[in-house]
A and B are shown apart, each in its own frame.
Chain A
Amino acid sequence: MNDGAPDPLPHFVSHAPYDTGRDISLTASAAPQWRLVLQKLRRRRMAYVSGLFLLLVYASLPFSEIIAPYALEDRNADYLFAPPQAVHLFHEGEFAGPFVYAYKGVANLNLFRWDYVIDHNRIQPLRFFCSGAEYEFWGRWKADFHLVCPDRNGVLHLLGTDRLGRDMLSRVIYGTRISLSIGLIGISISFVLALLIGGMAGYFGGLIDSLALRLIEIIRAMPELPLWMALSAALPVNWSPLAVYAGLTAILGLLDWPGLARAVRAKLMVLREEDFATAAILMGAGPGRLIGRHLLPNFMSHLIASATLSIPSMILGETALSFLGLGLRPPVTSWGVLLVEAQNIAAISSYPWIMLPMAPVILVVLAFNFFGDGLRDAADPYR
């Protein structure tokens, strides 16, 4: 067509050789579903960016000790309620690398608080990939390697310090590990329960179905938070903090499944009437194989999207419970545990930075919402 003969109409014709393989690989018949979903997701900018952000945060969880400039319980009695420091690059017009100005607490005897005076002559350069405060990596191996450390004789409190002079940034980073893992473990429990109960209800119908439906109705009619509060208040006081962590995760997971189970049930009821399901049964597939191999994959991506959307409610649940003093207890540190300090209006009006653990909560919840919404739209790539 375009070999030599002049084009009668003035429009653009690409002379690049046509690669049939490329287009075929993009059609529904050839590419695996997850690639199509990913491709569709990539077109939704907000969802994609949020997804990458969440991936990055979750990937950082195993390395909290290295990322945090201080260890979790490091106290510095000279810096109680010290305000956040700003990172500067230029000192008196000259490039000096990233550094902070030294500051020092001065007792204010009128208001009975510490005022911090910044010394603009003393610069304390940040050190990177350095050895600093000692910690136990995963509670096992002693180490002192950090991504960023304060100057040898200086301090580095990018988000300020708390009542005991502990670095807020480090505590928020350690808290991330607990808060985010609760969301992930909780959703796994709820996901398995939803598949089991919703699957049985939808597939077998009849008595099992109406029993499951009743149970779902009852749990959904209970206001979530009061029930969570009652259950976590029931965790024995003499349990170790780690056992409380496990118990709390179980509570959050055990009460979250009804929404998902309803979705599983509704989908299964429609799909089990399809011809391909009948064909599978006639070929001798048992209920387990039929559900797992033939029915579930049809709406797995939808389920994962819905599950993603309910992770934030778990993270918020843990935060709320710990905030109320019914959830996790120190030394286990989550965002909610950190926010307990912010309950005191007198403290937050003098030292507003102790409210900062709120920021990661809101960011992560927002990211999960954007990502989940995008995933839900992308879950059906054939449309």
Chain B
Amino acid sequence: MGRYFLHRMSLMAPTLIAISALIFLVIQLPPGDYLSNQVAELRAQGEEANLDKIAFMRSEFGFDRPLIERYGVWIGVWPGANGFSGFLQGNWGWSFEYNKPVREVLGDSLALTVLLNFATVLVIYLIAFPIGILSAAWQYSLADYGFTFLGYIGLATPNFLLSLILLYYANLWFGLSIGGLMAPEYIDAAWSWGKARSVLEHLVIPVLVIGGGGAAAMIRRLRANLLDELQKPYVTTALAKGLTPFRVLLKYPLRMALNPFIADIGDLLPQMVSGSVIVSVVLNLPTIGPVLLQALRSQDHYLAGFILLFAALLTVIGMAVSDLLLALLDPRIRLSGRPAA
């Protein structure tokens, strides 16, 4: 297992390097940058005093250096104006718009993003597992048809539209706003049970909205896999030997059908992170989503770059975890990397 772990981790490094380079390229793409926009604005106002400060910032952030050097400084493998100071040294960059380090701008929103996505994964499992088994064990039953139909709707309704609809009906029927992270009276209050409860209540809708599509996809996969397994002769043998159908189901076919259950999370994660970004914008949740949107609009490119990298990191780590869990579950995968003895 230790060997597989090392192998999997060593795969992650080149992926992350490539992704960070890609992201750096993308955020440098727009013509102009925040500082030159600022200069143009100041010139238009006839103000020259601040130009010195901006010229200082330009050299401070290495805007006059070639692209590859700036990337190196950003990552922390090339000395910048203040020596080595990049991600590897724990410096996440500077937000021009807020005039603060990125770390301070983001603050709690990173933790909330992780919490939201983690909760979504849990909810997907909690929903998909029983329903998938149910609709495979009682194939073509009323429940099966009902869940299949719901699943189609769930897959087809884009999550940001769903959250808009929910926003509207929550307002219409209950007169409450489901947007935001907590009820308005708690916003400046100290942490208490009431505040924590309010936060949890406000997370229910976003988690369901983001996880709905993923759960539907997973139910379909689990059902199909379980149905394949249930037709195999060993099930008949087990039944003939006198095991109860329920015990047979849990003991053999379910275990065989579990693999994709773990593996799929790796495929679903990018979708979920995407979903959490746009749903947060609609529901006004203080995750990285709204900050990213604003940063992209104002070309605050270190802030945008860090958020993109964080989102990518979240999926890459999630995929690695799902692979490791899979290896823990299934010795065939764990041992396949090894040379034949």
B308 touches A358 (CB 8 A): no
At the interface, yes or no: A214 with Cβ under 8 Å from chain B? yes
B292 A226 Cβ-Cβ under 8 A: yes
A196 contacts partner chain B, Cβ-Cβ < 8 Å: no
Bound form: Cα–Cα A217–B26 in Å: 18
**A266 contacts the other chain (Cβ, under 8 Å)?**
no
Contact status B26-A227, CB under 8 Å: yes
B297 cross-chain contacts in A, Cβ below 8 A: 233, 325-326
CB of B161 within 8 Å of the partner chain: yes
Other-chain contact of B158, A222, A224, A226, A365 (Cβ < 8 Å):
A365
User: Is the CB of B257 closer than 8 A to any CB of chain A?
Assistant: no
Known: A223-B274, A355-B168. A218 touches B157 (CB 8 A): no
B316 with A348: CB separation less than 8 A: no
A264 within 8 Å of B by Cβ?
Answer: no
Size category, A interface? 35 or more
Chain A 338-382 per-residue mask, 1 if CB under 8 angstroms from chain B, else 0? 010011010011001001001001100110011000000000000
**Interface assignment of B277: CB less than 8 Å from any CB of chain A:** yes
- Cβ–Cβ contact A233 & B152, under 8 A: no
Report B274-327 residues with CB < 8 Å from chain A CB: 274-275, 277-278, 281-282, 292-293, 296-297, 299, 304, 307-308, 311-312, 314-316, 319
Give the contacting residue for A224; candidates B30, B165, B270; CB below 8 A.
B270
Nearest A-chain residue to B270, judged by Cβ: A223
A221 contacts B293, CB within 8 Å? no
Which A residues lie within 8 Å of B282 (CB)? 343
User: When chains A and B are docked, how far (Å) is the Cα of A23 from the Cα of B314?
Assistant: 58
In the complex, residue of chain A having the shortest beta-carbon distance to the beta carbon of B167: A345
Q: CB-CB < 8 A to B273: which residues of A?
A: 223, 226
Chain A residue numbers with a CB within 8 Å of B156 are 312, 362, 365-366, 369
**B307 contacts which chain A residues (CB < 8 A)?**
226
Give every chain A residue within 8 A of B30 (Cβ-Cβ). Answer: 233-234, 236
Are the CB atoms of B164 and A222 closer together than 8 Å? Answer: no
A170 contacts the other chain (CB 8 A): no
Asked whether A230 is an interface residue with its Cβ less than 8 Å from the other chain, the reply is: yes
Is the C-beta of B153 less than 8 angstroms from some C-beta in chain A?
Answer: yes
> Is B77's beta carbon under 8 Å from chain A?
no
B211 within 8 Å of A (CB atoms): no
Find out whether the CB atom of B168 lies under 8 angstroms from the CB atom of A222: no
Contact of B19 among A222, A236, A323, A355 (CB under 8 A): A222
Inter-subunit contact A316/B158 (CB<8 Å):
yes
Interface status of A64 (Cβ within 8 A of chain B): no
Contacts of B157 in A (CB 8 A): 362, 365
Q: Does A230 lie within 8 Å of B296, measured CB to CB?
A: yes
Chain A 227-241 near chain B by CB (<8 Å), digits 1 or 0: 101110110100000
Q: Is A87 an interface residue (CB 8 A)?
A: no
A-facing mask of B170-213, CB < 8 A → 1, else 0?
A: 01100001010000000000000000000000000000000000
Known contacts A223-B274, A349-B171; is-contact A218 B296 (Cβ 8 Å): no
- A221 smallest CB distance to B (angstroms): 5
Confirm or deny: A324 has a beta carbon within 8 angstroms of a beta carbon on chain B. yes
Instruction: State in angstroms the CA–CA spacing of A365 and B160 once bound together.
Output: 14
A318 CA / B280 CA spacing, docked (Å): 18
Within 8 A of A (CB), among B138-168: 152-153, 155-158, 160-161, 164-165, 167-168
CA distance A358 to B22 in the complex (A): 34
Q: Which residues of B contact A312 (CB under 8 A)?
A: 156
Taking the nearest CB of chain A, how far is it from the CB of B130, in angstroms?
24
CB-CB < 8 A to B312: which residues of A? 221-223
Q: For B153, what are the chain A residues with a Cβ–Cβ distance below 8 Å?
A: 366
Q: Which of A148-187 contact B (CB under 8 A)?
A: none
Separation of A224 and B273 alpha carbons in the complex (Å): 9
Most buried by A among B165, B274, B282: B274
Cβ contacts A106-142/B at 8 Å (1 or 0 each): 0000000000000000000000000000000000000
Contacts of B38 in A (CB 8 A): none
**Does A43 sit at the interface, judged by CB under 8 A?**
no
- Please list 8 pairs of residues, one from A and one from B, whose beta carbons are closer than 8 Å in the complex, sorted by A's number: A218-B18, A222-B270, A223-B312, A224-B271, A230-B27, A233-B299, A343-B282, A366-B152
Binding site for B on A (CB under 8 A): 214, 217-218, 220-227, 229-231, 233-234, 236, 312, 316, 319-320, 323-326, 339, 342-343, 345, 348-349, 352, 355, 358, 361-362, 365-366, 369-370
| 10 further A-B pairs in the complex, CB-CB below 8 A; given A226-B292, A233-B30, A236-B30 | A221-B15, A221-B19, A225-B275, A226-B308, A229-B292, A312-B156, A316-B158, A323-B160, A362-B157, A369-B155
